[in-house]
Amino acid sequence: MATEEHQRLANIVKGCHDSLRQLTKLYGAERAWQEHTGPDNAEKLSEYADAMQQLAGIWETNTNKTELQARSRIKWAIDYITKYFYTEGIYLQKRQREQRLLASYHELCESVDCSYMDEPPDRLHVLDVGSCFNPFGNIPHLDVTAIDLCPAQGALVLQADFLTVEVDATLPAPEICDQKRKVNRLPANYYHCVIFSLLLEYMPSAEQRLLCCRKAYELLRPEGILVIITPDSQHVGKNASLMKNWRFALAKLGLLRVRFEKLPHITCMVFRRAISQELSQHWASVHREEGICEAIQIPQDEH
């Protein structure tokens, strides 16, 4: 059983999510988000950020207790990022797979322009969205831009609403207001990796989640990756239809899934910016099944 303190923190997080869903039912997602992120709710957001930071400490370190057994989501992401860009060169394997796939699509192979990543640098540009307390900031080979709607107190995290922050193709680096520790604009085609860890389910609508993924595509360099970690305590088949929708919707954006792993309380996925958006979109069209839609839905949308 969870400790009393663990339960108290979990209730704070659940209460914040429930409140946002109720606002969405009353006013619609856009107005609900405006009220949720407004100054009148600042205290509640700060309380939420503090609870998330403390809960993360419990989940990341207490693996000896049966009820808390779960492989660290932070470690999982770091391991895959390292393998993809460095130790196993997975990006080259996926490049070759996409080249073979493109060659098999005869109607595309002569008309499509492909973009490739240069050899990975010693430090990768990483954007951690909904970071809370910058858990990836101490990894030597990651140069992290950590942003959050309401950063945890004392954390090296910049304030930004990812739904509204501008993506600018002319920027050479993130535009930051140092005095306010706030991100004004983010550079397109800049990041090797974007991380959504427990982010998408926070958004109150499927449209807002899709917008987040579209922005991730714009921010990524060719062959860069979007790491998505989402809570899921069900068996692997329970939400299979939703995951098929996610895969289809992201492929239509230009992001092909390259990794899927179901862990005890989370589902971990990695999507790669394909060498050609047309290739990814064509793959989606070829593999579209009956009933699949271009939406990022979660189980809570049905309630």
- Prediction pTM value: 0.92
Q: What whole-number distance in Å separates Cα of residue 188 and Cα of residue 79?
A: 25
DSSP E strands: which ranges in the chain?
Answer: 124-129, 142-148, 158-159, 166-168, 175-177, 182-187, 191-197, 220-231, 255-262, 266-273
- pLDDT averaged over the chain? 90
pLDDT band at 303 (very low <50, low <70, confident <90, very high): low
pLDDT band at 70 (very low <50, low <70, confident <90, very high): very low
Q: What are phi and psi of 67, to 5 degrees?
A: -75, -10
Give the model confidence (pLDDT) of 211-223 as tens digits. Answer: 999 999 999 999 9
Give the model confidence (pLDDT) of 159-207 as tens digits. Answer: 999 999 999 999 999 999 977 799 999 999 999 999 999 999 999 999 9
Residue 232: count of CB within 10 angstroms of its CB: 21
Residue whose tokens read 């394909």: 274
Give the model confidence (pLDDT) of 228-281 as tens digits. Answer: 999 887 777 778 889 999 999 999 999 999 999 998 889 999 999 999 999 999
Give the model confidence (pLDDT) of 47-66 as tens digits. Answer: 988 888 888 776 665 555 43
